C-alpha cells in the first residue's frame, strides 16, 4: 500500500530533550537516538505531531518546567524551519502539507502548571498550547487522576525514568522488559488492579473535577482548546462529558476491556467519547496493551482478553492492532486515532521508532482493515476533531 499520512496526538519528546540536556547531553529534535526526530517523522509518513509539555508536581515548579519546555519547542522549531513549523490552526497544517513541511502542535500534559488560574491557561493559549491534559498522575487544583502516585519527592528525572523508578519500587526489573524480578514469565501481572473492565479504579469513585476544573472546561471550549481526558479519573471523564458540549479527546489511552490498566478507557467511555464526536489515541506503551493470543494470522475476539491483568513484554504490532480492533468495534472507525506516547515510556518494541509506523499500516491491511479505515485511524479522525475544535473557538 502507499504511504499513509499520520497525525499523532501525543509524544513526550520535548520533555525528554529537556531531561537529557539537564544531564549535560547535546541533543535536539532534528536528529537524535530517541523514538522521534524530524528525519524519523518524515520517513514514517507523519504530517502532524502533537508535542506535549510535561510537568510533574513532585519535581521543581511546574510552571517553570513548562515554560522551559515551551522555549525548547520554539527554539527547535526555529532551528528546523526547513522541515517543520508550529501550528495553532488546521489551515496552517494544510499549508504545511502543500509545502512539504511537517506540522507541530503544542499540548500541556498536566494542568498542574496552571495552578487553577485561568489567566495562566490563557497565557499558555497565547504561547500556542492548543490541548490540555487536565491531570497527570498527581491530584491538582483541577481534578483527580486515575492512577494517583505515592507522593515522594523526586529531582531531575524525566517522565519515562520516573515510570521505571515506580516499577522498580513495585518490585519489577527494568532490565527484564518489565517482568517481575527473578520471573521467567513473558508477561507481567498488574496485581491489585481491578479485573472488572467497567469498574472505576480502587479509591477513585466520586473523585472527578474540582471547581477550578469546571471553569477550565468552559474557558477551553470558548478559546478553542482541546480537552484531553487521558490520565483523568473515571468520575472526571463523566464530569467532562456532562459539562461540555463539544468533542474532546483521550489523547493516549487504550481499551480497558482488553488490558485492565485503569489508565485505559472502559467500553462505556469509548462509546460516550464517540457519541460526542471525540477521538481516542492508541497508546503504544506495553503496559496499556494486551498479551497477544499467539496467533499471527487473524485477530482474537475481545472476549479472549476480557478482564486480563497482564501485559506483553514487548510492544508488537499485533498487540497494537488488537487494541485498534476492539476500540473501533466499540467506538466506530471515526473515533480512533494515534496517541503513541513515544519518548514517554521505555519498553522493548517491534517498531524501533516512529520511522517504522508504515509497517503498522501494512500489518493492519493484512489484518483486514481497508485503506480508508487505516487512513482514518492514522490521520483523518484526528484532523477532523482538531479542525472542529481549533477552528471553532471565539478567541481572537
Say what the pLDDT of residue 396 is.
55
- Walking along the chain (396 residues) 10 residues at a time, the average pLDDT comes out as 93 97 97 98 98 85 95 98 98 97 97 95 98 94 83 43 41 30 35 39 67 98 97 96 98 94 96 98 94 45 47 90 96 98 95 97 97 98 98 70
Say what the pLDDT of residue 2 is.
83
Report how far residue 247's alpha carbon sits from residue 228's, in angstroms, rounded to the nearest whole number. 10
Burial of 169 (0-12, 13-18, 19+ CB in 10 A): exposed
Contacts 24+ apart (CB under 8 A), 121-129: 121/216, 121/219, 121/220, 121/225, 122/219, 122/223, 124/66, 125/223, 125/225, 125/395, 127/70, 128/70, 128/74, 128/86, 128/88, 129/53, 129/70, 129/225
* Beta-carbon-side half-sphere exposure of residue 109 (alpha carbons within 13 Å): 27
What are the C-alpha distances in Å from 378 to residues 79, 211, 336? Answer: 27, 36, 9
Say what the pLDDT of residue 393 is.
65
- 284, 315 Cβ separation under 8 angstroms: yes
C-alpha cell at 342: 513515544
- 376, 233 Cβ separation under 8 angstroms: no
Say what the pLDDT of residue 311 is.
77
- 358, 44 Cβ separation under 8 angstroms: yes
Amino acid at each position: 500500500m502507499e504511504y499513509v499520512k499520520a497525525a499523532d496526538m501525543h509524544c513526550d519528546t520535548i520533555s525528554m530533550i529537556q531531561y537529557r540536556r539537564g544531564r549535560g547531553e547535546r541533543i535536539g529534535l532534528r536528529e537524535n537516538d530517541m523514538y522521534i526526530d524530524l528525519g524519523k517523522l518524515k520517513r514514517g509518513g507523519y504530517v502532524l505531531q502533537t508535542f506535549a509539555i510535561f510537568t510533574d508536581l513532585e519535581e521543581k515548579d511546574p510552571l517553570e518546567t513548562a515554560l522551559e519546555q515551551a522555549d525548547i519547542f520554539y527554539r527547535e522549531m526555529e532551528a528546523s524551519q526547513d522541515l517543520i513549523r508550529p501550528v495553532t490552526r488546521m489551515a496552517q497544517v494544510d499549508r504545511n502539507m502543500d509545502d512539504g513541511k511537517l506540522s507541530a502542535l503544542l499540548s500541556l500534559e498536566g494542568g498542574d502548571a496552571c495552578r487553577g488560574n485561568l489567566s495562566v491557561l490563557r497565557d499558555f493559549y497565547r504561547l500556542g498550547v492548543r490541548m490540555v491534559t487536565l491531570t497527570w498522575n498527581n491530584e491538582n487544583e483541577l481534578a483527580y487522576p486515575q492512577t494517583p502516585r505515592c507522593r515522594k519527592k523526586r529531582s531531575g528525572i524525566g517522565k519515562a525514568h520516573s515510570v521505571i523508578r515506580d516499577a522498580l519500587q513495585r518490585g519489577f526489573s527494568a532490565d527484564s522488559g518489565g517482568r517481575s524480578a527473578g520471573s521467567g514469565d513473558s508477561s507481567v501481572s498488574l496485581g491489585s488492579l481491578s479485573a472488572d473492565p467497567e469498574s472505576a479504579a480502587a479509591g477513585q469513585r466520586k473523585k472527578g473535577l474540582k471547581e477550578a476544573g469546571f471553569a477550565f472546561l468552559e474557558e477551553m471550549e470558548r478559546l478553542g482548546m482541546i480537552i484531553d481526558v487521558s490520565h483523568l479519573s473515571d468520575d472526571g471523564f463523566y464530569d467532562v462529558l456532562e459539562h461540555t458540549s463539544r468533542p474532546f479527546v483521550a489523547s493516549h489511552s487504550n481499551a480497558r476491556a482488553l488490558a485492565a490498566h485503569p489508565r485505559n478507557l472502559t467500553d462505556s467511555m469509548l462509546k460516550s467519547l464517540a457519541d460526542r464526536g471525540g477521538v481516542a489515541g492508541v497508546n503504544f506503551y506495553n503496559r496499556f496493551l494486551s498479551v497477544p493470543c499467539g496467533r499471527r494470522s487473524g485477530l482474537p475476539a475481545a472476549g479472549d482478553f476480557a478482564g486480563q491483568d497482564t501485559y506483553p513484554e514487548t510492544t508488537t504490532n499485533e498487540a497494537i492492532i488488537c487494541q485498534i480492533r476492539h476500540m473501533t468495534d466499540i467506538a466506530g472507525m471515526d473515533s480512533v486515532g494515534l496517541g503513541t506516547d513515544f519518548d514517554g515510556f521505555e519498553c522493548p518494541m517491534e517498531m524501533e521508532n516512529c520511522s517504522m509506523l508504515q509497517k503498522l499500516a501494512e500489518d493492519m491491511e493484512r489484518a483486514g482493515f481497508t485503506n480508508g479505515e487505516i487512513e482514518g485511524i492514522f490521520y483523518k479522525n484526528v484532523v477532523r476533531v482538531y479542525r472542529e475544535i481549533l477552528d471553532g473557538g471565539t478567541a481572537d
